[in-house]
Amino acid sequence: MQGPFHRGSSRKPMGEINVVPFIDVMLVLLVIFMITAPMLTQGVQVDLPQVTSEPIEEMEDREPIVVSVDREGQYYLSLGDEETPVSLDDIADRIIVILDRRPDTPVMVRGDRNVSYGQVVTLMSTLQVAGVSNVGLISEPPSGADEN
């Protein structure tokens, strides 16, 4: 006899997964990554000179080698995302190895505006000894310049 208060075992087991805890975890991870991502930016602090110049044409499929000189006169070599401090003596050896593998790789120089002109010229001379015939100089546009 089944009445209104009868508790039968006619309930079927639930075959669904509760995804609410997973959504909570994903939102917490999203917030953590949004906060920590700007802190992961690495690089050498270089105060570039501000000049008006034409941008270099696009280099499709060629990641440039960037040699930087910071305010203290330290040299850094970067290819892609990897940036390593190097001595002036090691720059030529590393550039030669890279250009042997990929001879069409462009070479760019970033020099802090407060570094002496002589250090940049010495760096460019070292690059010339390494066989680099064409060097690009990286600068920033003036702070009040119109961007096209």
Q: CB burial class (10 A; 0-12, 13-18, 19+) of residue 90?
A: middle
Q: Which CATH architecture has domain 43-148?
A: 2-Layer Sandwich (3.30)
pTM of the model: 0.56
Residues 6+ apart with CB under 8 A from 22: none
* Distances 53 to 50, 56, 60, 68 between C-alpha atoms, Å: 9, 9, 21, 19
Interatomic CA distance for residues 75 and 85, integer angstroms: 6
One pLDDT digit (tens) per residue for the chain, 148 residues = 555 665 656 677 777 888 889 999 999 999 998 888 777 655 556 665 666 666 556 555 678 888 888 888 889 988 777 788 898 888 888 888 888 888 888 888 888 888 888 888 888 888 888 888 788 878 777 776 554 4
Q: Which tokens belong to 108?
A: 């760019």
The ranges assigned to domains in the chain are: 43-148
pLDDT on residue 118: 83
